[in-house]
Structure 1
């Protein structure tokens, strides 16, 4: 079958990999000159299967109000007359209860744990490396109340068979030795030993090279995707700046821009761009730098180790599609990395970046079929596109082929928003 994949971020390229492996003729189309040039370019770097949790959680509406008045808050809202933002926030707040949180958390962990197996197999099969490390993730707690609150997440991890350890202030130093240099800052942490790190941009580009050279995947860059043209009960073609492109099936992997492409097809995707920022910091002292990923729970900032760089990612900003770099956001994530690893890197020489995470109100991606026979979706992964990419793509490939799936796809397609 001839398949067109729209979007060459990490989700689009992994989708190409799994579909080509199953024998399909795959073409990837993107407006950028090369893969992973938008949201996949500078993300936080953690491949955090066990840390997959909904942003929509009990207490978030109250915290959001409090964060509005804090300088270094993890969530910021840029006031604007934007009905789409208002609808998104209302739907997200509707998921901020214990019942919905449990449902959404299970769905996310289901995909993420499958993704863990998939990326391990992919790395073994292809041999690609991407400054990756398999040393786990450490969620750091500054307050005892955070330790108490994580108990419910640990119950879900236990149910899903995810290895985890709750560590005290002394034990966290055995996982991340550099924390011994900042005594008294943290009361403990949740260690997820099977989580990983890596440069998503490097991964996506090396996988794209593999797909091109070993699997015959075609890539068409610098091509603007304009609209989908209907025909009968499905899609007839995709209209682009390079003319109409045809295939037997079409897969939308356009992240935050996915809703625009499908809205004329009577598909309403409740995806809103949540802007995130990152710093890429050169390492100056290996002993003072992280060895894997730590997540500062108070500020929701992730700090990940590459070979000779530290990637620091954080802040969720609701600002529509504005990609401007705000220095006050840089100040927040810069403050956190200096506070946790003050001797590890030279923050003054950091590269500053921002990208748009395609967030759904329930934080769960949208994977699967649509009401149009040959149109498929793999989008809406929010802050966990890198984490869930391989599992989502492998699941999608099996769904397209009508195969038995490795995990239950229930609740993952767009039909869950029908009501």
Structure 2
């Protein structure tokens, strides 16, 4: 018996949400897809609606009026604000954690304390609410050391300080208000040494299933140099994540987290995105995000062979047990095109051409991350603007295709790194 088709509302406006919309659009279970607020790329997959995700009554009213059966929340801020709680109270299914469960991303100190409680491997740390003791602790520990604003700071609240002067400056910046309320508390932790990897699991409150692995490039410049960003590119799978490491990550990090959250009365539903450092001891947790990574989501959606809507619905309904997503064997790689000046000051409103030509390459898709339409012309509307994504038989081939597509895009005011995937390609040689 065929299952009924459903209407879905997707919350968000970035490259992650374009990738999710693109994948959801392929589901035979989907009837209508709405997106709020969306962007021009998402508009090719969904009906865009003017909705403030923080106006919970308006979101609920829209869902009721349009028979929306599932709300998929892309970004972290509405999750931390409690959108899922409001939807569930209104009897509307949502994919994403409740406000309390979203503290795994909303407060780094909350996550570190949970790790201690559940015996999850992570860096040694301490929490501070004043600058002087924080500076003293950093001096005692020595550099390199990591300084983190406790709350959400749009990917910019973490400093890996190579010197004590850098550590003290980062501490002062937090308490002087550089990150607003997010910096009212600071977490200082040891600097883990190893190779980073991104690990994703879908959870339904009691069961967690692993998704494909990925690795991103946080630094703005080639060779992983320059300041940290929200991510300048990514690829999947991450070669460092062997099946043995995946099994250890599930057993030592993901499953204990799901159990600990359930024990706290805040069962976790949604995506657990674990930022890992693969050290000599094995996988250690750097931090959690409570949604798909951006730009890692883009490469995951390119490789996903299963029905995304079915997976998200199963998570929302608490019936993930026995579900095993299937993945394309080909690697995927995405190159982020950003506005010149990012992650510092950059100009908005610069025109972009050539998207159709880039999309025409085999195995290639350009996801819109920060775009808008102005008088019918596509323009940049953010720091990270396009995610040029490609599949290939190898990471090297996926990289070649992605950069071919980048070359087809006419945007003089944009830039990108030229070496996305270099670690994986080195391993392939």
Q: Normalization by structure 1: what TM-score? A: 0.22
Which structure is higher in RCO with an 8 Å CA cutoff and minimum separation 6? 1
Q: Normalization by structure 2: what TM-score? A: 0.22
Higher helix share: 1
